[in-house]
Amino acid sequence: MADRPLSPHLQIWKWGPHMAVSILHRVSGGGMAIVGLGVLLWWLGALASGPAAYDTFYTHASSWYGMVVLIGLTWAFFTHMSSGLRHFVLDLGAGYELDTNRTFAVISMISGIVLTVAFWAFILLR
């Protein structure tokens, strides 16, 4: 058997914001694909089925748990978008310096929260 180097295990890696952003990017994309698609299909089905079905959808969507789901989907969207922009810049070949990468990762996570709060403040306060 050949003496091949072992692949680094998770215990070797130093955790940082760049790893958190990568994990959040995957989780938010999966969440939007599964939960977002379910909510979208329910909304479209309710729209096509008439006023009674839409009233049922609206009742659930405007309840506290419906708002939690909608705010969560909004956070997932803005987090995924911010992380996607970060990945785009990295694909261009910029931002690989450790301090720049760490700063951009933190900005990416914070901007997802700030954009979500601004979006819902605009919707609820107008």
Please state the residue numbers annotated as binding site for heme: 80
Residue at token pair 């954009």 = 115
H-state helical runs in 9-97: 17-31, 37-49, 51-61, 64-91
Interatomic CA distance for residues 118 and 125, integer angstroms? 10
Q: Which residues are annotated as a binding site?
A: 80
φ, ψ of residue 114 in degrees (nearest 5): -65, -45
